[in-house]
Amino acid sequence: MEHPPRLRRSLVLAGLVVSSTLALTGCFSAATATSSDDGGRVSIAMLNPPRSGLTPLSDDAFKLSRWSTAETLVVLDDNGDAQPALATEWKQEGDHGWVFTIRDGVRFHDGTELTAEAVAHSLTVAAAATPVPRILNGVELTVAVDGETVRITTADVDPLVPQRLSSPQLSILAQSAYGADGVVNPVKAGTGPFVLTSVDGTSSATLDRNEDYWGTPAIASGIDVSFVPDGTARAAALRTGTADIVEAIPVSQVALLDQDLVYEVPMPRTNTLYLNTETGPFSDPGVRAAAAAAVERATIVANVYEGRADEASGLLGPALPWAAELRDRPAYRKTLDAAAQAASVNGVPITLGTFTDRAELPEVAVLLQQQLEAAGFVVTQDVREYQYIEADALAGSFDAFILSRATVIDSGDPVAYLYSDFHCDGTFNISQLCDPAVDAAIEAASATAAGEARREAISDAEATIIATGAAVPMLHERVIQGEAAGTVGAARDPRERVLVTAKTHFDRKR
């Protein structure tokens, strides 16, 4: 008897129980391959299990967002500009106030109505949380209800309030989600096209289609999630057909897979060489220029990342497509042309640090040492676990430090990263950079309203930073996502906010 494709997948999964592959993939629920009369159920193998019980006040919020179960007042487009979601419109009133109109006709998954009061409650809980959600670090805000609108007031002028409200950590949940003990339980509490119905600790989660969704209903009947931290196991899940969508496949596993099932998504993460501008050899701009000239990006990308990364021409990579376009401006080129010329560095000793937590970085350090030594430097490496090296890196104990750094986190805007890493008052200033021109450029970008003018100001700041030689961007990383044959409409999101949408489903004819 010939079984339907989805049923065959269930039988394959059952058969794996007695095979060695089960040691890698046996954690998947048999429900992941259940047949359906519509778009079927979509099964996902995810990298990280929940760390905080899926509370939206933690990084677990990004799972709720990727499953399309919890939603925010606004979402971001490809340029990072705010677009309507649970709020239909907004306006700024004065320097410190913003008014958001809440969408009508939306119900939470527990059946209660989305109201301005419910929105205010969610945002007020987030603002008062300890620790505060990352997107609200350094931001003081109060929330008040004004009829069908919500008024948000910030202590300081903040042109990015709408973008901040796009963070999954500020998802709007039903008031039933918030317990008296401070615990937030997102089960049956969101507004998205899928209802989170159950969570099995750090093992799995189940979601069903929201039949009363305010937008276009989901095609798939549900989502079955398995948390699979082991990269080899995730790759095996794609290879054996026990998962439809697989997060973060290791580069080392890609060659073992059907290449038609593998997709590379640019990440807002840059592998950068930070140079100590305060003390040691790199306090000389010419010596910094010599180090920058020694870096052979193509060799690092080819040998360490097997070609699955992008050579960097700036701090901001292809995950922000506007960044490359703005580098063609004459003002950008003029800033770079004013940078110091490379000095002679024959026999200059330097210490080069990095950490082992990201497997590629020690390999990058080996190649980079060879390149720097070919230019005349004498390199001593110091490679440790991150927890044992961060304090020394921030204290300026190294002449050079390799870091894989997220350039955009929650707001879709890189100004916070630029400030943290390169402003005199930055809290993550490994380069020990304190340059008045850099500070002025970053502050100008921070004060500019969201939109094209802000993007140009950010680009100006990037050029000013690179011209100092304090940071040498080497490559932009990609995340490798697997999608089984027949999977339709999986999101490939550089910000890693969306994975399954209302359009995602399994086509048994493919």
Which of helix, strand or coil describes residue 91? strand
Q: Are strands 149-154 and 97-102 parallel, antiparallel or unpaired?
A: antiparallel
Do residues 24 and 206 make contact, with C-beta atoms less than 8 angstroms apart? no
Which of helix, strand or coil describes residue 242? coil
**Rounded Cα gap, residues 117 and 162, in angstroms:** 18
Which residues in 26-107 belong to E strands, given as ranges? Answer: 41-46, 74-76, 82-84, 87-93, 97-102
Using alpha carbons only, give the angle 101, 103, 106 rounded to the nearest 5 degrees. 150
**Rounded Cα gap, residues 114 and 85, in angstroms:** 12
**Rounded Cα gap, residues 323 and 327, in angstroms:** 7
Do residues 442 and 461 make contact, with C-beta atoms less than 8 angstroms apart? yes
Ranges in the chain annotated CATH 3.10.105.10? 266-478
In angstroms, what CA-CA distances link 128 with 64, 117, 125, 193, 227?
Answer: 21, 16, 5, 28, 30
Query: For the whole prediction, is pTM greater than 0.75?
Result: yes
**Rounded Cα gap, residues 397 and 389, in angstroms:** 10
Q: Are strands 222-227 and 41-46 parallel, antiparallel or unpaired?
A: parallel
Fold of the domain spanning 5-69+192-258+485-506: D-Maltodextrin-Binding Protein; domain 2 (3.40.190)
Report pLDDT digits (tens) over 483-496: 999 999 999 998 88
**What are the residues facing 510 on neighbouring strands?**
none
List the chain residues with pLDDT less than 70: 1-38, 409, 508-510
**Rounded Cα gap, residues 40 and 508, in angstroms:** 9
Do residues 376 and 247 make contact, with C-beta atoms less than 8 angstroms apart? no
**What are the residues facing 41 on neighbouring strands?**
222
**Rounded Cα gap, residues 510 and 495, in angstroms:** 28
Do residues 190 and 70 make contact, with C-beta atoms less than 8 angstroms apart? yes
Concatenate the DSSP letters of all residues of 351-377 into one string: EEEEESSSTHHHHHHHHHHHHHHHTTE
Phi, psi of 433 (to 5 degrees): -80, 135
**Rounded Cα gap, residues 91 and 254, in angstroms:** 47
Do residues 199 and 50 make contact, with C-beta atoms less than 8 angstroms apart? yes
Do residues 350 and 378 make contact, with C-beta atoms less than 8 angstroms apart? yes
Nearest to 459 by CA among 311, 331, 272, 337: 331
The dihedral through the CA atoms of 416, 422, 424, 425 has a sign that is positive
Nearest to 197 by CA among 51, 31, 57: 31
Q: How far is C-alpha 30 from the geometric centre of its chain's CA atoms?
A: 30
Fold of the domain spanning 74-177: Dipeptide-binding Protein; domain 1 (3.90.76)
Phi, psi of 173 (to 5 degrees): -120, 160
Ranges in the chain annotated CATH 3.90.76.10? 74-177
Q: Output the pLDDT for position 510.
A: 61
Nearest to 385 by CA among 358, 356, 360: 356
Q: Count Cα atoms within 13 angstroms, Cβ side, for 370.
A: 9
Do residues 377 and 348 make contact, with C-beta atoms less than 8 angstroms apart? yes
Fold of the domain spanning 266-478: Dipeptide-binding Protein; domain 3 (3.10.105)
Do residues 314 and 462 make contact, with C-beta atoms less than 8 angstroms apart? yes
Q: Count Cα atoms within 13 angstroms, Cβ side, for 329.
A: 17
Which of helix, strand or coil describes residue 487? strand
Which of helix, strand or coil describes residue 124? helix
**Rounded Cα gap, residues 31 and 269, in angstroms:** 35
Ranges in the chain annotated CATH 3.40.190.10? 5-69+192-258+485-506
